[in-house]
A and B are shown apart, each in its own frame.
Chain A
Amino acid sequence: MSTVSAKAPAGADRAPGPPRPGGPKRRRVRREKQWPAYVFLTPWMLGAAVLTLVPMAVSLYLSFTDYNLFEAPRWVGLRNYTEMLTEDPRYWRSVGTTLLYVVVAVPLKLVLALGAAMLLKNLGRGRSFYRSAFYAPSLLGASMTVALVWRALFNDGGTVPDLLGAIGVDSGGWVGDPDLTVFVVVLLTVWQFGAPMVIFLAGLQQISPDLYEAAALDGAGRWRQFVSITVPMLSPVVFFNLVLEMIQSFQVFTPAFAISGGTGGPADSTMFYTLYLYERGFTASHMGYAAAMAWLLLIAIGVVTLVLFRTSRSWVFYADEEGR
């Protein structure tokens, strides 16, 4: 179940183990026939070169320039980076907002997804109906429509402030309150826990019932079973969902754009990282600055993913690696 490992599938089965019948002779025959592989790979290689590698090189170059799309890029060295890190409070505000969002939304979403998956697993009859219905919000994803509904529900006079008012919490409209808008986006994301839920559910169904039976015989209660069986057996799936959600959350755009009407307001409180990047690049025509922002985002995501992979060794449990 090592899902995100970057093993080369073609090479993976030939590296270890005893030599195959036919041995080197057969391998030589194969080597002559490499060209079909490259034919299959042509579209991908073209895309990787023209739409990924070259653009990456270009954007790295642009990040050291002043560029407005119409005049030739002007080399400014590290100025974009230094300006961003030392002189641009809006940049740091966007970093803070995005981090707050990631730190709150990702765990909340995963906990809810796991809870829903465990609930559905025990339902028996009606499970597939509930599964589809719970997934429905995620279907609309980051669509404009959902963001519009959200804006209306959390606005002054909308359902949520009114309900809170009824139980004595006077929150006012969340959408106009710089301290609360970010949580409107958080709740929008958390509401869409369908994708990790389905993956959790599939993972739960793969855990052998024997394990639970044995544990029950040994006198383990529900909580004990959850901690000692469910959590370790599910840890690879938790890890997969965590990495995926984290990478996605750093790049959240549409909900923030829609809820703020594209402005990132009020008072830049929904100016998420990618929204600020868009504003710098496409509205203010500072393409070089935006490119530099994109590179720092790439580095941040890379570092976070690396840290997750490193720490995963201590808490992700692979049943098939036991005793290795």
Chain B
Amino acid sequence: MNLAVRRWAPHTLALLGLLVLLYPLAWLLATSLKPAEEVVTSLDLWPSSLEWSNYTTALEGVSGVAVSRLLGNTLLIATGAVLGNVLSCSLAAYAFARLRFRMSRVMFAFMVATLMLPHHVVLIPQYIIFNQLGMVDSYWPLILPKFLATEAFFVFLIVQFMRGLPRELEESARIDGCGPFRTYLSITLPLTRPALITTAIFTFIWTWNDFFTQMIYLFAPEKFTITLALRSFVDQSSTSAYGPMFAMSVISVLPIVLFFFVFQRYLVQGMATTGLKG
């Protein structure tokens, strides 16, 4: 008896926890399928009839911009950000982890310190710079910084990972006459793949979920991301459009959920490494 309790107690607890944790998501899914009048009046999670028209309404999008277009915009930004971060952060990380140069200590300390820098300190001047360059209301302010390794978190993550790699392979490549660029490209980078995948996944999810930067830099509805569109959808709709609003919410997070199911193994590993290596 005691043994059975011991074995099942953690599972019961975990299941209960799961129920509470996932309730809001179940609620979201259920509400996105409810008829308008049921959303506010009924407490039942399960809709009395499935209202698929919520989704067709949501797919039409906002201000005449279809959801497919909005998703495409978001995908474009996220892809640009992923490419930028993986490329620029791995380059900088290789220099910090493996190459010797003057001021390396100072530069590395500065890089780590920027981890603490609130985005808001640089926000206004960055806005002025992009404004002067005529880039406001374009995707450049959202993508360009990623190609300049501005997200210190990822540089740090990749440095930590590279420091854990055995040096022997790189040493022997050097003895065989490989320069630092060859070594980086054909030896170090392939070995760093787990950290690069983590960087890519996080960049994708964070860019997708981002709201603040997109809100500040994008104005034209046809350039909107799905998050921005969702917000203006909320502003425009009354409570009677609750169903379509939550249908659109589901659509907006669907790509992330899919992404997670495909990559969750790497994601969880990568994050675990973040806090432990060093």
Question: Which residues of A come within 8 Å of B, CB atoms?
Answer: 1-11, 14, 30-31, 34, 36-48, 50-52, 54-56, 58-59, 62, 69, 116, 119-120, 122-123, 126, 130-137, 139-146, 148-150, 152-153, 157, 159, 162, 191, 195, 198-199, 201-203, 206, 237, 240-241, 247, 250-251, 253-254, 257-258, 261, 274, 277-278, 281-282, 287, 290-291, 293-295, 297-298, 301-302, 305
Please list 13 pairs of residues, one from A and one from B, whose beta carbons are closer than 8 Å in the complex, sorted by A's number.
A10-B98, A44-B148, A48-B149, A51-B150, A59-B121, A119-B14, A136-B22, A144-B230, A201-B272, A290-B120, A290-B124, A294-B118, A297-B120
Q: Which of B84-117 contact A (CB under 8 A)?
A: 87-89, 91-92, 94-102, 104-105, 107-117
Contacts of B234 in A (CB 8 A): 144, 148, 261
Contacts of A274 in B (CB 8 A): 118, 120
Contacts of A287 in B (CB 8 A): 124
Task: Determine the distance from Cα of A150 to Cα of B184 in the docked complex, in whole angstroms.
Answer: 46
Of the candidates A5, A126, A139, A305, the one whose C-beta lies within 8 Å of that of B260 is A139
Contacts of B245 in A (CB 8 A): 148
Q: Which residue of B lies closest to A121 (CB)?
A: B10
Of the candidates A116, A137, A291, the one whose C-beta lies within 8 Å of that of B124 is A291
Contacts of B196 in A (CB 8 A): none
Task: Determine the distance from Cα of A254 to Cα of B99 in the docked complex, in whole angstroms.
Answer: 40
* Given A40-B99, A123-B11: A301 in contact with B116 (beta carbons within 8 A): yes
Task: Determine the distance from Cα of A198 to Cα of B40 in the docked complex, in whole angstroms.
Answer: 36
Q: Which of B17-60 contact A (CB under 8 A)?
A: 17-18, 21-25, 27-28, 31, 40, 43
Task: Determine the distance from Cα of A129 to Cα of B250 in the docked complex, in whole angstroms.
Answer: 22
Task: Determine the distance from Cα of A253 to Cα of B123 in the docked complex, in whole angstroms.
Answer: 14
Task: Determine the distance from Cα of A297 to Cα of B28 in the docked complex, in whole angstroms.
Answer: 35
Of the candidates A46, A51, A146, the one whose C-beta lies within 8 Å of that of B24 is A146
Q: Which residue of A lies closest to B234 (CB)?
A: A148
Question: Which residues of B come within 8 Å of A, CB atoms?
Answer: 10-11, 13-14, 17-18, 21-25, 27-28, 31, 40, 43, 87-89, 91-92, 94-102, 104-105, 107-126, 128-129, 131, 145, 147-150, 155, 159-160, 163, 179-181, 184, 205-206, 209, 211-212, 216, 227, 230-231, 234-235, 242, 245-246, 249-250, 252-253, 256-257, 260, 264, 268, 271-278
Contacts of B109 in A (CB 8 A): 6, 8
Contacts of B147 in A (CB 8 A): 43
Contacts of A150 in B (CB 8 A): 24
Of the candidates A140, A261, A281, the one whose C-beta lies within 8 Å of that of B209 is A140
Contacts of B107 in A (CB 8 A): 41, 45
Main secondary structure of the interface of A (DSSP, over half): helix
Task: Determine the distance from Cα of A23 to Cα of B87 in the docked complex, in whole angstroms.
Answer: 35
Of the candidates A5, A50, A145, the one whose C-beta lies within 8 Å of that of B252 is A145
Judging by beta carbons under 8 Å apart, are B101 and A37 in contact?
yes
Task: Determine the distance from Cα of A257 to Cα of B242 in the docked complex, in whole angstroms.
Answer: 19
Judging by beta carbons under 8 Å apart, are A162 and B18 in contact?
no
Judging by beta carbons under 8 Å apart, are A157 and B271 in contact?
no
* Given A62-B125, A130-B18, A136-B25: A149 in contact with B271 (beta carbons within 8 A): no
Judging by beta carbons under 8 Å apart, are B128 and A69 in contact?
yes
Judging by beta carbons under 8 Å apart, are A43 and B275 in contact?
no
Contacts of B209 in A (CB 8 A): 140-143
Contacts of A258 in B (CB 8 A): 211, 231
Question: A262 to chain B: closest CB distance in Å?
Answer: 8
Contacts of A143 in B (CB 8 A): 209, 211, 227, 252-253, 256
